[in-house]
Structure 1
Amino acid sequence: MSGAGRKDENQADKNLRIGGISGLDLKWLSALEAPFRVTGLPWLDRDGIYRRLPVNPSHAIRPEVDRLANYTTGVQVRFRTDSPNLYVRVKLVDSYSMYQMAATGQCGVDCYIGTIGDQRYINTSRFDFTQAEYESVLFDSLAREMRDITLNLPLYQGVQELSIGVDSSSEIAAFPGFPIDKKVLLYGTSITHGACATRPGMAYPNILSRMFPLEFVNLGFSGNAQGEPELAHLIGLIESPGLLILDYEANTPSTERLAESLPEFIRIYRDRHPDVPILVLSQICLAREAFDGELTSRREERKRIQREEVERRRSAGDRNVHFFDGALLLGEDPQDCTTDGIHPSDLGYDRMATTLRPVIAELLNAVIEQQTGRDDGKWNEQIRSKG
């Protein structure tokens, strides 16, 4: 379809139109300033930019990882407001460029309303995907009452500036904070990163962040999570970890490299955090495996290596290392759960989060007990029942 054809189609359906901002008395505020709370960026206070790794890392990282660290997957902006209208003004590093992802996933911002555990999606930014800067409405004409807002930032693009527009007479208040002062850290591949979710909130780390009362940090580096020791050292610097999830199998150059890197990665992290739970996830099933037995055999071999390493460490006394079979993440019939045979669709990500929910709840329960001084099994059962 020609560009003119797409334009005509968008004009014909008002729900597809890219609306402008006119006739509203708005005040625009930078998301990096109080009272907004930006999560998912462990080095934000030091570096002051939207970047998931430090600007000057203590350990050298490959150029590919350095570039991907500027993508804002997993980054969220949280606040409260009574504004009936909410807009965003976004300046990206570049415009939409990925054939297999929706522009809303790569470059968009989506919005949830509600407190942790009761957040509901309302809208995603609409914009001209050929441009790197845009303004968009997230909601308008709602009743004037205080609401908890969570914005999910673009998955596969860097953000230079993000401003939030609210009615000039509205109140903006700080996010009240997480009940649990710990972080869930996820290190992994493009699947952890968020390919190919149609919008940011549907990447599985973001889905999980709506289920648990603590901060999630997405350290997915698409195609480049090779389990290198430098990343283990950097991740070890993140303060207040509650759980580390390792989901990097698919990016390792070879099975031999996986067998070498996993013990070393865990050892480095353990030297700094001897008691933090670690969950090792093996790879999900790929669509091609239904027709390619060798591919299945390779995945099974890599799964065996990871399971045996976890069992070895547990036998040696580290009872806080755990393994989960990634073949279970997409359910009994995974064939329609991906966008391109590899990367999950929104359906696939929802299944992953739903499957992981009770597993993570079980691991976090001990962390919550340690921080609160009580066995919060009731909270654990509540999380399970919502799944």
Structure 2
Amino acid sequence: MITTPITFDLVRGALELEPTDRGVLPHRLPAWARTQYDDAQMTMVESQPSGVRLVFSTRATVIELETLPTKRDYTGAPPRPDGVYDVLVDGELFIQLTAAGGDVIAIDLMTGATETRQGETQTLSITGLPAAAKTVEIWLPHDETTQLVALRTDAAVEPVPPSGRVWLHHGSSISHGSNATHPTGTWPALASARAGVELLNLGYGGSAYLQPFIARTIRDTPADLISLKLGINIVNSDGLRLRSFTPAVHGFLDTIRDGHPDTPLLVVSPILCPIHEETPGPTSWDLSALAAGELRFVATGDPAEIPAGKLTLSVIRAELARIVARRAASDPNLHYLDGRELYGETDNAAHPLLDDLHPDGPTHQLIADRFAHHAFESKGPFTS
């Protein structure tokens, strides 16, 4: 077996590879940005490799990938399934694998306290591959922090230059892939495959707060197409009021435009989420559901405070539409999409959100198909 160093030319979807004492850790934020926050949730989700994949050409019939996964154990909640690795050969799914073991972070949902237990590395074995030259993609688990330890093959591997336009997408947990069952089953991955573009997924579960360091990261990252799915986490956290939300959106867009003055830029408002359509945040755990062993969410804000500036999804959609319409008068490459075009009231009746906040796997497919149609087809803003 040949051991090939895991270097940046074999990895797509990451902005940085951090050497550790056990391997290399893909990051979806650069080091300078990671110094600008002290938040355990952000630290966790940016290191979860949604959209990150190894891509190489080879004649190998056997591939071994040694990894160190980090599992999450939520106290009192049902065990989480192991993260899935999707292996594609020449663009087609060849096999799906999981890696048991690894490190474990125990999280107390009530107090937020965490405890980390170290485990052993795991080796995935991919066998029965055709001996002909082929392109292999190994998509890492979208919701499981994964250190890459070693890549071993029975034939040499070579980097494959990216082909197609680069689509950079930023959003929250739904964009990250919450409740999708495998990494190529998140709606951004599905939409990128349908459109034939290279995905860079900067969706961060529970962590899309219009942070300036994310805007600067997008500004400095090469991309041919950019989309921003904004709003739900602002309501979840009750983090802003209307008076501060509006200039924050303008500032976020201004910073991105400093580096991408003419790049097609699509602002997407939140999909339908009934608990927050007319009720502000913050969002909280549904304690009665948790007592029954289920993870569900509830809105705890007071609608009477909306006139004073409290935000709901309805308020945010109206404001995002107004902001984009005003800016588009002098920025013809700026566009808006109402998130309810991707998932609305009829869809909620047929495919209710699993935990009242996140879509299931089939709904990710639905959202992907509609986004691809609106953005990449039918003379949409990303039409080539």
Secondary structure in 2 aligned to 1:95? strand
How far does residue 363 in structure 1 lie from its aligned partner after superposition? Answer: 2.6
Matched, 1:193 2:142: no
Structure 2 residues without counterparts, runs of 5 or longer: 105-118, 281-298, 304-311
1:63-82 to 2 correspondences below 5 Å: 63-64=39-40, 65-82=42-59
The aligned residue for residue 247 of structure 2 is: 260
8 A Cα contact 1:242 1:364, kept in partner: no
The aligned residue for residue 243 of structure 1 is: 225
Greater percentage in helix: 1
Structure 1 residues without counterparts, runs of 5 or longer: 1-25, 367-387
Give the counterpart of 1:304 among 299, 318, 322.
Answer: 318
Matched, 1:31 2:6: yes
1:207-222 to 2 correspondences below 5 Å: 207-222=190-205
The aligned residue for residue 83 of structure 1 is: 60
Residue deviations 1:227-275 (CA, integer Å, cap 9, x gap): 0223212221112x11221113111124514323211111121122211
- The TM-score normalised by the length of structure 2 is 0.74
Query: How much identity, in percent, do the aligned residues show?
Result: 20
Residue deviations 1:325-377 (CA, integer Å, cap 9, x gap): 111213632342533221121111111111111233133335xxxxxxxxxxx
- Partners of 1:100 and 1:220 in 2: how far apart? 25
Give the letter aligned to residue 60 of structure 1.
Q
Matched, 1:164 2:151: yes
The aligned residue for residue 133 of structure 1 is: 121
Residue deviations 1:270-301 (CA, integer Å, cap 9, x gap): 12221111111111112547xx8647993222
How far does residue 308 in structure 1 lie from its aligned partner after superposition? Answer: 0.9
Residue deviations 1:63-102 (CA, integer Å, cap 9, x gap): 343443222111111112232333321113x334355785
- Partners of 1:237 and 1:100 in 2: how far apart? 40
How far does residue 191 in structure 1 lie from its aligned partner after superposition? Answer: 1.1
8 A Cα contact 2:73 2:80, kept in partner: no
The aligned residue for residue 267 of structure 2 is: 280
- The TM-score normalised by the length of structure 1 is 0.74
The aligned residue for residue 15 of structure 2 is: 42
- Partners of 1:126 and 1:157 in 2: how far apart? 10
How far does residue 44 in structure 1 lie from its aligned partner after superposition? Answer: 4.5
Secondary structure in 2 aligned to 1:211? helix
The aligned residue for residue 61 of structure 1 is: 37
- Partners of 1:72 and 1:58 in 2: how far apart? 15
Give the counterpart of 1:346 among 361, 364, 367.
Answer: 361
- Partners of 2:335 and 2:78 in 1: how far apart? 33
Residue deviations 1:161-182 (CA, integer Å, cap 9, x gap): 243333x2x343332x2333x4
The aligned residue for residue 226 of structure 1 is: 209
Secondary structure in 2 aligned to 1:57? helix
Q: Relative to structure 2, which stretch is displaced further, 75-84 or 205-214?
A: 205-214
The structure-2 alpha-carbon separation of the partners of 1:29 and 1:100, relative to structure 1 and needing over 3 Å to count, comes to: farther
> Structure 1 residue runs of 4+, over 4 Å off?
44-49, 98-102, 128-132, 292-297
8 A Cα contact 1:330 1:337, kept in partner: no
> What count of residue pairs does the alignment treat as equivalent?
324
The structure-2 alpha-carbon separation of the partners of 1:261 and 1:104, relative to structure 1 and needing over 3 Å to count, comes to: same
How far does residue 62 in structure 1 lie from its aligned partner after superposition? Answer: 4.4
- Partners of 2:147 and 2:128 in 1: how far apart? 29
The aligned residue for residue 376 of structure 1 is: none
Over aligned residues, Cα RMSD in angstroms? 3.0
- Partners of 1:211 and 1:198 in 2: how far apart? 18
Give the letter aligned to residue 329 of structure 1.
L
